[in-house]
Amino acid sequence: MLTRIDHIGIACFDLDKTVEFYRATYGFEVFHSEVNEEQGVREAMLRINGTSDGGASYLQLLEPTREDSAVGKWLAKNGEGVHHIAFGTDDVDGDAADIREKGVRVLYDEPRTGSMGSRITFLHPKDCHGVLTELVTSRADD
């Protein structure tokens, strides 16, 4: 069962400059940052709030580390902006299977490792009214 909006992913050309905008404008601070080599991105997670299920809501700022990454290609076509929305779930495997049975294309056969050690998969935007949608199960110790 989906429990919350885990994060909204925002693609940007300059991560440091974008982090500074969100810090100066809204007071959001970086909770976590990392480079995900598999996905070809450098990212910063800005924690917005905690939730009753023990999770949190974040803005995820994404800068491509290479032009051929999914985010790099998306930025070249669309420019900066909202890239995806992610919903938190206790069971990414089960929810992905249930959603797949409803005719929505799930992009990964098996969930992959995402930010902060989470398990993730994506749903095809053409099946989700134009919105790239991510399902996230946070690491157990978060």
Catalytic site residue from 39, 63, 83, 84: 84
Burial 101-121 (b: 16+ CB within 10 A, else e): eeeeebeeeebbebbbebbbb
Q: Is 134 tagged catalytic?
A: yes
Q: Is 39 tagged catalytic?
A: no
Q: Is 84 tagged catalytic?
A: yes
Count of alpha carbons within 13 Å of 41, Cβ hemisphere only?
A: 25
Catalytic site residue from 7, 39, 63, 83: 7
Burial group, residue 64, by CB count within 10 angstroms (0-12, 13-18, 19+): buried
Catalytic site residue from 39, 63, 83, 134: 134
Catalytic site residue from 39, 43, 63, 83: 43
Q: How far apart are CA 96 and CA 55, in angstroms?
A: 19
Which residues are marked as active site?
Answer: 7, 43, 60, 84, 134
